[in-house]
Amino acid sequence: MADGWTDRSGRSLINFLVNCLAGKMFLKSVDALGHSHKGEYLFNLLDSVVEEIGEDYVVRVITDNATSYVMVGRLLMEKRRRLFWTPCAAHCIDLMLEDIGRLFINVIARARRITVFMYKHALLLRRMRKHIRGNLLRPTITRFATAFLTLQRLHAKKSKRRSFVVSADFTSGPWSKKADGKRVQQTILSQSFWTQVVKAIKSSEPLVSVLRLVDEDEKPAMGYIYDAMERAKNKIMDHFNYRDRDYRPILNIIDRRWGSQMSSPLYSAAYILNPTCLFASADPAEALTMHMVGFIDLLERMIPDKGEQDKISTLLDFYTKSEGIFSRDIVIRHQTMKLPTDWWAAYGVDPNRKDSALKKLAMRILGLTCSASGCERNWSTFEAVSLVIVNFNFLL
């Protein structure tokens, strides 16, 4: 995983981490000042890291979604014929939320004015917290998710907020006489504002749930992300009672971003190899057909040996048809009780065939992370520690 950031000293740093089933590990940091957006430099840098780790050990390289990295990722896949490059899933979903936010730019701006106004007046903020028993802001992992989560928090205590701005706690203070205070009061009492808040929440909440999935460290999200995105789209349609004019602009944004950034054989293979998703789908046979081309593309790229390809293809038939060990009751029950990687570790080899080729492939794919965001929020802490060390050494 490559994660670029700029520290307080203005240095453009690119941090490299490796991820596997055991977790994430910091590899190294490179000062890329003046080169962080140059394609040739980034390509040589990523390529050298792959070489350092060993190409046989790298399934995927993850970077952010910047245009320079898209070009570099494609060049890397052309040179390294067995690995994949994909952009960060969390960043992709955040860009979806940014695009959706443009549809609700006015309501988000009005909500932001409310929060800024409340937090600008300490006494008012204390009174507000006491009245509604809560805060307005709800920080999260990405900027645009924070905007929508703030709308959720606003709406969760809508009646208390409305009663607060007509109470003496609000009207008796000097802020209520100011122009911005009057606008905040009018906004909170406006029914049209809350109607737009609800619409924005309906459009974003399912995507925020997917964002949480790809960002958490408890389990690899790789085997779940495709299914989670489909469920999110269905939930958005349901939120709008399947009125095409309401949900279509949202789904167009999701499909455009997903198609241009996240369409990869890795996700098709991960869906097929995750028994929780494949066998719980409404029509497993149809789902298998839909994703089989992606699985074949992955198989031909990752496993160039045709004999190994044939073995895996044969074993895949036993798995998808629930034959051999895959037909056992306990194995079927545990499809939804175990993490996909644990399930394959326990049941991935049929005792009669003793071939672990499919198991190894499944665990390599399902053990992947699909986001680099899990490490990004640590850099501010890393920098703070570095500053403490520098200052301490200066004192010495």
Q: How sure is the predictor about 382, in pLDDT bands with cuts at 50, 70 and 90?
A: low
Which helix (DSSP H) or strand (DSSP E) does residue 171 occupy?
helix 168-171
Select the more confidently predicted residue: 65 or 303: 303
Q: Which of 263, 285, 300 is the last residue of a domain?
A: 263
Of the given ranges (18-27, 81-90, 111-120, 372-381), which has the lowest mean pLDDT? 372-381
pLDDT at 269 over 80: yes
Q: Which of 247, 263, 279 is the last residue of a domain?
A: 263
Instruction: Report how far residue 53's alpha carbon sits from residue 230's, in angstroms, rounded to the nearest whole number.
Output: 35
Q: Which of 263, 280, 299 is the last residue of a domain?
A: 263
pLDDT at 385 over 50: no
Give the other-Cβ count within 10 Å of 181's Cβ: 19
Instruction: Report how far residue 369's alpha carbon sits from residue 22's, in angstroms, rounded to the nearest whole number.
Output: 11
- Residues 6 or more apart whose CB falls under 8 angstroms from that of 79 comprise 47
Which pLDDT score, from 0 to 100, does residue 136 have? Answer: 64
Please, are residues 267 and 230 in contact by the beta-carbon 8 Å criterion? no
Q: Are residues 224 and 326 in the same domain?
A: no
Q: Are residues 232 and 129 in the same domain?
A: yes
The DSSP result for 181-246, as a single string, is: HHHHHHHHH-HHHHHHHHHHHHHHHHHHHHHHHHH-SSS--TTTHHHHHHHHHHHHHHHTTT-HHH
Q: Are residues 363 and 378 in the same domain?
A: no
Q: Are residues 206 and 325 in the same domain?
A: no
pLDDT at 3 over 90: no
Instruction: Report how far residue 113's alpha carbon sits from residue 186's, in angstroms, rounded to the nearest whole number.
Output: 12
pLDDT at 74 over 60: yes
CA 23 remoteness from chain centre: 17
Q: How sure is the predictor about 4, in pLDDT bands with cuts at 50, 70 and 90?
A: confident
What's the whole-number mean pLDDT along residues 1-25?
81
Please, are residues 94 and 143 in contact by the beta-carbon 8 Å criterion? yes
Instruction: Report how far residue 147's alpha carbon sits from residue 142's, in angstroms, rounded to the nearest whole number.
Output: 9
Instruction: Report how far residue 348's alpha carbon sits from residue 364's, in angstroms, rounded to the nearest whole number.
Output: 13
What's the whole-number mean pLDDT along residues 151-161?
91
Find the farthest-apart pair of alpha carbons in the chain and give their distance in angstroms, rounded: 81
Mean pLDDT of the chain: 87
Total domain count, the chain: 3
Give the other-Cβ count within 10 Å of 261's Cβ: 19
Instruction: Report how far residue 226's alpha carbon sits from residue 155's, in angstroms, rounded to the nearest whole number.
Output: 30
pLDDT at 244 over 70: yes
Which pLDDT score, from 0 to 100, does residue 302 have? Answer: 95
Q: Are residues 247 and 284 in the same domain?
A: no
What's the whole-number mean pLDDT along residues 279-303?
93
Q: Are residues 257 and 327 in the same domain?
A: no
Q: Are residues 130 and 196 in the same domain?
A: yes
3-state secondary structure of 396: coil
Which helix (DSSP H) or strand (DSSP E) does residue 63 occupy?
strand 60-63
Q: Give per-residue pLDDT as tens, 15-71.
A: 899 988 888 888 888 887 766 567 888 999 999 999 999 999 999 999 888 888 888
What's the whole-number mean pLDDT along residues 197-220?
89
Instruction: Report how far residue 269's alpha carbon sits from residue 222's, in angstroms, rounded to the nearest whole number.
Output: 10
Please, are residues 154 and 135 in contact by the beta-carbon 8 Å criterion? no
Instruction: Report how far residue 119's alpha carbon sits from residue 134's, in angstroms, rounded to the nearest whole number.
Output: 13
Q: Are residues 336 and 240 in the same domain?
A: no
Q: Are residues 192 and 116 in the same domain?
A: yes
3-state secondary structure of 295: helix
Range of the domain at 318: 264-371
CATH number at residue 59: 3.30.420
Please, are residues 7 and 40 in contact by the beta-carbon 8 Å criterion? no
Tell which residue, 241, 250, 222, 265, has the closest CA to residue 100.
Answer: 250
Q: Are residues 296 and 248 in the same domain?
A: no
